[in-house]
Protein backbone atom coordinates (compact mmCIF):
# COMPACT_ATOMS: atom_id res chain seq x y z
CA UNK A 1 0.00 0.00 0.00
CA UNK A 2 1.37 3.42 -0.96
CA UNK A 3 1.18 5.78 1.99
CA UNK A 4 2.59 8.90 0.43
CA UNK A 5 0.05 9.74 -2.28
CA UNK A 6 2.75 10.41 -4.88
CA UNK A 7 2.30 9.77 -8.59
CA UNK A 8 -0.90 11.78 -8.77
CA UNK A 9 -2.92 10.19 -5.97
CA UNK A 10 -4.61 12.41 -3.37
CA UNK A 11 -2.66 13.90 -0.49
CA UNK A 12 -2.77 11.88 2.66
CA UNK A 13 -2.55 12.73 6.32
CA UNK A 14 -4.06 10.11 8.57
CA UNK A 15 -3.80 8.34 11.89
CA UNK A 16 -3.09 4.63 12.28
CA UNK A 17 -3.93 2.96 15.57
CA UNK A 18 -1.38 0.20 16.10
CA UNK A 19 -2.21 -2.84 18.26
CA UNK A 20 -0.82 -3.13 21.76
CA UNK A 21 1.45 -6.00 20.78
CA UNK A 22 3.52 -3.70 18.57
CA UNK A 23 4.22 -1.23 21.36
CA UNK A 24 4.83 -3.25 24.52
CA UNK A 25 1.28 -3.03 25.72
CA UNK A 26 0.71 0.64 24.82
CA UNK A 27 -1.68 1.82 22.12
CA UNK A 28 -0.34 4.61 19.90
CA UNK A 29 -1.95 6.74 17.22
CA UNK A 30 0.52 7.26 14.40
CA UNK A 31 0.13 10.35 12.22
CA UNK A 32 1.60 10.24 8.72
CA UNK A 33 1.63 13.06 6.18
CA UNK A 34 3.37 13.99 2.98
CA UNK A 35 6.35 16.28 3.49
CA UNK A 36 8.22 18.33 0.90
CA UNK A 37 11.42 20.33 1.28
CA UNK A 38 11.38 23.13 -1.30
CA UNK A 39 13.94 25.79 -2.15
CA UNK A 40 11.98 28.99 -2.91
CA UNK A 41 12.91 32.09 -4.92
CA UNK A 42 15.48 30.13 -6.90
CA UNK A 43 15.75 27.75 -9.83
CA UNK A 44 18.70 25.90 -8.30
CA UNK A 45 18.95 23.67 -5.26
CA UNK A 46 20.86 25.02 -2.26
CA UNK A 47 19.92 28.60 -3.17
CA UNK A 48 16.92 30.70 -2.15
CA UNK A 49 15.03 29.97 1.06
CA UNK A 50 14.23 26.39 2.09
CA UNK A 51 10.72 25.70 3.36
CA UNK A 52 8.96 22.62 4.62
CA UNK A 53 5.48 21.87 3.27
CA UNK A 54 3.16 19.42 5.04
CA UNK A 55 0.09 18.35 3.05
CA UNK A 56 -2.64 17.43 5.52
CA UNK A 57 -6.07 15.83 5.36
CA UNK A 58 -7.11 17.66 8.52
CA UNK A 59 -5.48 20.31 10.68
CA UNK A 60 -3.12 19.15 13.37
CA UNK A 61 -2.96 20.49 16.95
CA UNK A 62 -1.01 23.74 17.13
CA UNK A 63 1.60 22.37 19.51
CA UNK A 64 2.28 19.45 17.19
CA UNK A 65 2.74 21.76 14.20
CA UNK A 66 5.25 23.80 16.20
CA UNK A 67 7.13 20.63 17.20
CA UNK A 68 7.28 19.50 13.57
CA UNK A 69 8.62 22.92 12.54
CA UNK A 70 11.24 22.69 15.28
CA UNK A 71 12.24 19.20 14.16
CA UNK A 72 12.49 20.35 10.53
CA UNK A 73 14.83 23.15 11.58
CA UNK A 74 13.97 25.35 8.58
CA UNK A 75 13.04 29.03 8.64
CA UNK A 76 9.39 28.11 8.01
CA UNK A 77 7.19 25.06 7.69
CA UNK A 78 3.77 25.42 6.04
CA UNK A 79 0.82 23.22 6.94
CA UNK A 80 -1.76 23.00 4.17
CA UNK A 81 -5.29 21.54 4.24
CA UNK A 82 -7.70 21.51 1.28
CA UNK A 83 -11.16 22.90 2.10
CA UNK A 84 -13.98 23.57 -0.35
CA UNK A 85 -11.74 24.06 -3.35
CA UNK A 86 -9.29 26.30 -1.50
CA UNK A 87 -6.38 25.56 0.81
CA UNK A 88 -6.03 26.65 4.42
CA UNK A 89 -2.42 27.47 5.25
CA UNK A 90 -0.55 28.10 8.50
CA UNK A 91 3.13 28.91 8.89
CA UNK A 92 5.45 28.03 11.77
CA UNK A 93 9.06 28.96 12.46
CA UNK A 94 10.91 26.82 15.01
CA UNK A 95 9.80 29.45 17.55
CA UNK A 96 6.31 30.80 16.76
CA UNK A 97 3.35 30.78 14.38
CA UNK A 98 3.67 33.54 11.75
CA UNK A 99 1.01 35.89 10.40
CA UNK A 100 2.40 35.68 6.84
CA UNK A 101 5.23 33.87 5.08
CA UNK A 102 5.98 34.44 1.42
CA UNK A 103 8.52 31.73 0.67
CA UNK A 104 6.54 28.95 2.37
CA UNK A 105 3.39 30.06 0.50
CA UNK A 106 5.29 30.00 -2.80
CA UNK A 107 6.65 26.55 -1.87
CA UNK A 108 3.17 25.27 -1.02
CA UNK A 109 1.81 26.50 -4.36
CA UNK A 110 4.70 24.76 -6.12
CA UNK A 111 3.87 21.46 -4.38
CA UNK A 112 0.16 21.71 -5.19
CA UNK A 113 0.83 22.52 -8.85
CA UNK A 114 3.50 19.88 -9.40
CA UNK A 115 2.32 16.98 -7.23
CA UNK A 116 -1.30 17.42 -6.11
CA UNK A 117 -3.32 19.24 -8.79
CA UNK A 118 -1.19 19.77 -11.93
CA UNK A 119 -4.12 21.20 -13.93
CA UNK A 120 -4.59 24.09 -11.51
CA UNK A 121 -3.85 27.56 -12.88
CA UNK A 122 -4.76 29.29 -9.62
CA UNK A 123 -4.55 28.38 -5.95
CA UNK A 124 -6.25 30.39 -3.22
CA UNK A 125 -4.91 30.07 0.31
CA UNK A 126 -6.98 31.10 3.33
CA UNK A 127 -4.68 32.47 6.01
CA UNK A 128 -4.30 34.76 9.01
CA UNK A 129 -3.57 37.51 6.46
CA UNK A 130 -6.74 36.86 4.47
CA UNK A 131 -7.14 35.19 1.08
CA UNK A 132 -3.86 34.86 -0.86
CA UNK A 133 -4.21 34.13 -4.58
CA UNK A 134 -1.35 32.39 -6.39
CA UNK A 135 -1.18 32.03 -10.16
CA UNK A 136 1.26 30.28 -12.48
CA UNK A 137 2.98 31.70 -15.54
CA UNK A 138 4.93 28.77 -16.97
CA UNK A 139 7.37 28.04 -14.12
CA UNK A 140 7.01 31.46 -12.47
CA UNK A 141 4.83 31.47 -9.35
CA UNK A 142 3.05 34.79 -8.69
CA UNK A 143 1.60 35.59 -5.26
CA UNK A 144 -0.94 38.33 -4.62
CA UNK A 145 -0.14 39.58 -1.11
CA UNK A 146 -1.29 42.50 1.04
CA UNK A 147 0.81 45.67 0.75
CA UNK A 148 2.25 47.00 4.01
CA UNK A 149 3.55 50.47 3.25
CA UNK A 150 6.05 51.38 6.00
CA UNK A 151 6.08 54.82 7.59
CA UNK A 152 9.03 56.81 8.90
CA UNK A 153 9.88 56.22 12.53
CA UNK A 154 12.71 56.28 15.04
CA UNK A 155 15.08 53.35 15.37
CA UNK A 156 15.00 51.65 18.79
CA UNK A 157 18.29 51.78 20.68
CA UNK A 158 18.43 47.99 20.93
CA UNK A 159 18.50 47.74 17.14
CA UNK A 160 20.75 50.75 16.50
CA UNK A 161 23.34 49.52 18.98
CA UNK A 162 23.48 46.12 17.32
CA UNK A 163 24.27 47.47 13.83
CA UNK A 164 27.82 47.96 12.58
CA UNK A 165 26.51 50.54 10.05
CA UNK A 166 23.71 52.98 10.82
CA UNK A 167 20.86 53.51 8.31
CA UNK A 168 20.09 56.74 6.52
CA UNK A 169 16.33 56.36 7.12
CA UNK A 170 14.12 54.15 9.29
CA UNK A 171 10.60 52.97 8.44
CA UNK A 172 8.17 50.53 10.04
CA UNK A 173 5.20 48.39 9.13
CA UNK A 174 5.19 44.85 10.58
CA UNK A 175 8.97 44.94 10.19
CA UNK A 176 11.48 47.71 10.67
CA UNK A 177 12.79 48.72 7.23
CA UNK A 178 16.21 50.38 7.33
CA UNK A 179 17.30 52.30 4.24
CA UNK A 180 21.03 52.35 3.46
CA UNK A 181 23.11 54.39 1.06
CA UNK A 182 24.64 51.55 -0.94
CA UNK A 183 24.47 47.85 -1.76
CA UNK A 184 27.87 47.44 -0.13
CA UNK A 185 26.45 48.66 3.19
CA UNK A 186 23.79 45.94 3.01
CA UNK A 187 26.37 43.28 2.12
CA UNK A 188 28.88 44.28 4.79
CA UNK A 189 26.70 45.01 7.80
CA UNK A 190 27.32 42.99 10.96
CA UNK A 191 24.82 42.28 13.72
CA UNK A 192 25.79 42.10 17.38
CA UNK A 193 23.54 39.18 18.30
CA UNK A 194 23.71 39.79 22.05
CA UNK A 195 22.50 43.38 21.73
CA UNK A 196 20.06 42.56 18.94
CA UNK A 197 18.29 39.95 21.03
CA UNK A 198 17.45 42.65 23.59
CA UNK A 199 14.26 43.46 21.66
CA UNK A 200 11.24 41.27 20.89
CA UNK A 201 9.42 42.11 17.64
CA UNK A 202 6.95 39.20 17.82
CA UNK A 203 6.27 38.19 14.18
CA UNK A 204 8.31 41.12 12.86
CA UNK A 205 11.96 41.56 12.04
CA UNK A 206 14.51 44.03 10.72
CA UNK A 207 14.91 44.44 6.97
CA UNK A 208 17.90 46.39 5.65
CA UNK A 209 17.75 47.61 2.07
CA UNK A 210 19.40 49.81 -0.56
CA UNK A 211 19.29 50.49 -4.28
CA UNK A 212 21.03 47.70 -6.17
CA UNK A 213 23.65 47.77 -8.89
CA UNK A 214 22.22 44.93 -11.00
CA UNK A 215 18.75 44.87 -9.42
CA UNK A 216 16.30 47.63 -8.57
CA UNK A 217 16.90 47.06 -4.87
CA UNK A 218 18.61 44.61 -2.54
CA UNK A 219 17.90 43.57 1.03
CA UNK A 220 18.70 41.33 3.98
CA UNK A 221 16.42 40.28 6.84
CA UNK A 222 17.16 39.58 10.51
CA UNK A 223 14.91 38.46 13.37
CA UNK A 224 15.87 39.08 17.02
CA UNK A 225 15.41 36.27 19.54
CA UNK A 226 14.88 33.77 16.72
CA UNK A 227 16.51 30.38 16.24
CA UNK A 228 17.52 31.48 12.74
CA UNK A 229 18.98 35.01 12.85
CA UNK A 230 19.12 35.80 9.12
CA UNK A 231 16.31 34.67 6.84
CA UNK A 232 17.71 33.71 3.42
CA UNK A 233 14.87 35.20 1.32
CA UNK A 234 11.86 36.91 2.90
CA UNK A 235 8.78 37.16 0.69
CA UNK A 236 6.62 38.83 3.33
CA UNK A 237 9.17 41.64 3.86
CA UNK A 238 8.60 42.59 0.22
CA UNK A 239 5.04 43.51 1.16
CA UNK A 240 6.73 46.63 2.58
CA UNK A 241 9.77 46.86 0.31
CA UNK A 242 7.74 46.89 -2.90
CA UNK A 243 5.53 49.92 -2.15
CA UNK A 244 8.47 51.78 -0.58
CA UNK A 245 10.82 51.26 -3.53
CA UNK A 246 8.03 51.74 -6.05
CA UNK A 247 7.49 55.23 -4.64
CA UNK A 248 11.21 56.02 -4.47
CA UNK A 249 12.04 54.70 -7.95
CA UNK A 250 8.81 55.66 -9.70
CA UNK A 251 8.39 52.09 -10.98
CA UNK A 252 5.63 49.52 -10.63
CA UNK A 253 7.58 46.50 -11.91
CA UNK A 254 10.91 45.75 -10.22
CA UNK A 255 13.38 42.94 -9.68
CA UNK A 256 15.06 42.49 -6.32
CA UNK A 257 17.77 40.34 -4.80
CA UNK A 258 18.12 39.29 -1.19
CA UNK A 259 21.81 39.23 -0.32
CA UNK A 260 21.94 36.40 2.19
CA UNK A 261 24.57 33.69 1.81
CA UNK A 262 22.10 31.62 -0.26
CA UNK A 263 20.70 34.64 -2.19
CA UNK A 264 17.35 34.76 -3.95
CA UNK A 265 15.63 36.71 -6.71
CA UNK A 266 12.18 38.26 -6.26
CA UNK A 267 10.07 39.63 -9.12
CA UNK A 268 7.99 42.49 -7.77
CA UNK A 269 4.86 44.34 -8.81
CA UNK A 270 3.16 47.21 -6.98
CA UNK A 271 -0.61 47.17 -7.43
CA UNK A 272 -3.04 50.04 -7.06
CA UNK A 273 -5.49 48.25 -4.75
CA UNK A 274 -3.40 47.77 -1.63
CA UNK A 275 -1.85 44.59 -2.97
CA UNK A 276 1.57 43.60 -4.23
CA UNK A 277 2.78 40.84 -6.52
CA UNK A 278 5.67 38.82 -5.12
CA UNK A 279 6.87 36.25 -7.64
CA UNK A 280 9.65 33.75 -8.01
CA UNK A 281 10.69 30.25 -8.93
CA UNK A 282 11.04 27.15 -6.77
CA UNK A 283 12.62 23.72 -6.95
CA UNK A 284 12.28 20.44 -5.09
CA UNK A 285 15.03 19.29 -2.76
CA UNK A 286 13.33 16.25 -1.19
CA UNK A 287 9.99 14.64 -0.40
CA UNK A 288 8.86 11.90 1.94
CA UNK A 289 6.69 11.07 4.91
CA UNK A 290 6.53 12.57 8.38
CA UNK A 291 5.43 9.99 10.94
CA UNK A 292 4.83 10.90 14.55
CA UNK A 293 2.99 9.29 17.45
CA UNK A 294 0.27 11.03 19.42
What is the end-to-end Cα distance of the chain in Å, rounded?
A: 22
pLDDT tens for each residue of 145-196? 999 999 999 999 999 999 999 999 999 999 999 999 999 999 999 999 999 9
Please tell me whether residue 102 adopts helix, strand or coil conformation.
helix
Q: What's the CA gap between 164 and 181, in Å, rounded? A: 14
Per-residue confidence band for 30, with pLDDT thresholds at 50, 70 and 90: confident
Mean pLDDT of 35-61: 97
Identify which of 105, 114, 115, 103 has the alpha carbon closest to the alpha carbon of residue 139: 114
Mean pLDDT rounded to a whole number for the chain: 91
Catalytic positions are 76
CA distance 139 to 214: 23
Name residue 45's beta-bridge partners: none
Question: Which of 12-21, 66-75, 282-291 bottoms out in mean pLDDT, i.e. has the lowest?
Answer: 12-21
> What is the per-residue pLDDT across 256-283, written as a single tens digit (0 to 9) for each?
999 999 999 999 999 989 999 999 999 9
pLDDT of residue 28: 59
CA distance 13 to 54: 9
The pLDDT assigned to 267 comes to: 98
pLDDT band, residue 294 (cuts 50/70/90):
low
Residue 114: pLDDT over 70: yes
* 205-215 residue pLDDT tens: 999 999 999 99
Amino acid sequence: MCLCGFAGSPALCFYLQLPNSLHNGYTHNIMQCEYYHIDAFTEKQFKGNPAGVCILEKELPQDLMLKIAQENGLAETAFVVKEYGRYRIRWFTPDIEMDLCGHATLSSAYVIKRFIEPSRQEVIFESRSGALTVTFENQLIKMDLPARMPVKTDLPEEIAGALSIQPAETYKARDYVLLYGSEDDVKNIRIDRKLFDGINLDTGGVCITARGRDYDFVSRFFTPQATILEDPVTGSAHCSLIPLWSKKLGKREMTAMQLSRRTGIIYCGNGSDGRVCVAGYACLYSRGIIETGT
